[in-house]
Structure 1
Amino acid sequence: MEIVYPRVAAIDVHKKQITVAVRVPGEQVGQRRQQVRKYPTFYSALREMTAWLVAEQVTHVAMEATGVYWRPVFHALAEADGLEVLLCNAHHVKNVPGRKTDASDAVWLAELCEVGLLRGSFIPPADIAAIRELTRYRKKLIEERTRETQRLHKVLEDGGIKLDSVASIATGVSGRAMIEALIAGERDPAVLADLARGVLRKKIPDLTLALAGRFADHHALLCRLHLTHIDHLNDMIGKLDARIEQVIIPFAAQRDRLKTIPGVGDRAAQTIIAEIGVDMTRFPTPAHLASWAGLCPGNHESAGKRRKGTTRHGNPHLATVLVEAAWATSRTRTRLGARYRRLHRRFGKTGSKKAAVAIAHTVLVIVWHLLANDQTYTDLGADYYTQRDDPETRKKPPATPTTRPRLPSRTHRTRGIAPHAVRLSFV
Structure 2
Amino acid sequence: MQWKIYQKHQGKKTDVQDCQWIQKLHSIGLLSGSFLPDLQTEQLRTYCRHRAGLIDLAADTSKKMQKYLRLLNLRLDIIVKDICGLTGLKMIEAICNGETDAQKLASLRNGNCKKSEAEMQKALQSNGRKDYLFALKQEYQMYQNLQNQIKDCDIEIKKLLQDQIDSNNNKKQHYTDPKIHKRVNKNTPKNIDLNLMGYQYFRRSRFVKI
Q: TM-score, normalised by structure 1?
A: 0.37
1:278 aligns with 2:202: yes
One of 11, 16, 20 as aligned partner of 1:103: 16
SS across alignment from 1:99: coil
Measure the CA separation in 1 of the matches of 2:203 and 2:114.
Answer: 52
Aligned AA (1:278):
F
Distance 1:110 1:171 in 2: 52
Aligned to 1:70: none
Larger of the two Rg values belongs to structure: 1
Residue matched to 2:96: 183
8 Å contact from structure 2 (residues 79, 120) kept in 1: yes
Aligned mate of 1:142, from 55, 75, 89: 55
Q: Partners in 2 of 1:109 and 1:151 — Cα distance?
A: 46
Q: For residues 109 and 65 of structure 2, what CA distance do their matches in structure 1 show?
A: 19
Asked if 1:203 corresponds to 2:151, the answer is no
Cα deviation for residue 165 of structure 1 reads 1.9
Alpha-carbon separation, structure 1, partners of 2:88 and 2:29 = 61
Q: Residue 234 of structure 1 aligns with which residue? A: 147
More helix by share: 2
Question: Distance in 2 between the 1:112 and 1:201 partners?
Answer: 60
Residue number among 107, 125, 129 corresponding to 1:212 in the alignment: 125
Q: What's the counterpart of residue 46 of structure 2? A: 133
Give the Cα separation in 1 of the matches to 2:151 and 2:120.
Answer: 31
Assess if the C-alpha contact under 8 Å between 1:164 and 1:170 holds in 2: yes
For 2:17, the aligned partner's letter is S
SS in 2 for 1:248: helix
- Is 1:158 matched up with 2:82? no
Show structure 2 runs of 5+ residues with no match. Answer: 166-170
Q: Which residue of 1 aligns with 2:159?
A: 246
Q: Which has the higher contact order (CA 8 A, sep 6+)?
A: 2
User: Which deviations, in whole Å up to 9, do the C-alpha atoms of 1:276-306 show, x marking residues without a partner?
Assistant: x8389xxxxxxxxxxxxxxxxxxxxxxxxxx
Q: Which of 77, 81, 84 is the equivalent residue of 1:171?
A: 84
> Displacement of 1:204 after TM fit?
1.7
1:219 partner amino acid: Y
Query: What amino acid is the match of 2:76?
Result: L
Structure 2-normalised TM-score?
Answer: 0.69
CA distance in 2, matches of 1:226, 1:255: 44
CA gap 1:180/1:117 in 2 versus in 1, 3 angstroms: closer
CA distance in 2, matches of 1:256, 1:130: 24
**CA offsets 1:110-140 (integer angstroms, 9 cap, x no match):** 3444565533122222212211221122122
Match of 2:168 in 1: none
Q: Determine which structure has the larger strand proportion and give its number.
A: 1
Distance of 1:153 and 1:134 partners within structure 2: 29
Q: Which one-letter code corresponds to 1:237 in the other structure?
A: I
Paired residues of 2:68 and 2:136 also in contact (CA < 8 A): yes
CA distance in 2 between partners of 1:227 and 1:238 (Å): 17
Matched residue count: 187
One-letter code aligned to 1:221: F
Deviations 1:131-183 (A, max 9, x none): 12211221221222122112211211222111232233433444334323333
Q: For each residue in 1:366-414, what CA deviation from the matched residue of structure 2 results, as whole angstroms up to 9, or x when unmatched?
A: xxxxxxxxxxxxxxxxxxxxxxxxxxxxxxxxxxxxxxxxxxxxxxxxx
Q: Report the aligned-residue RMSD.
A: 3.9
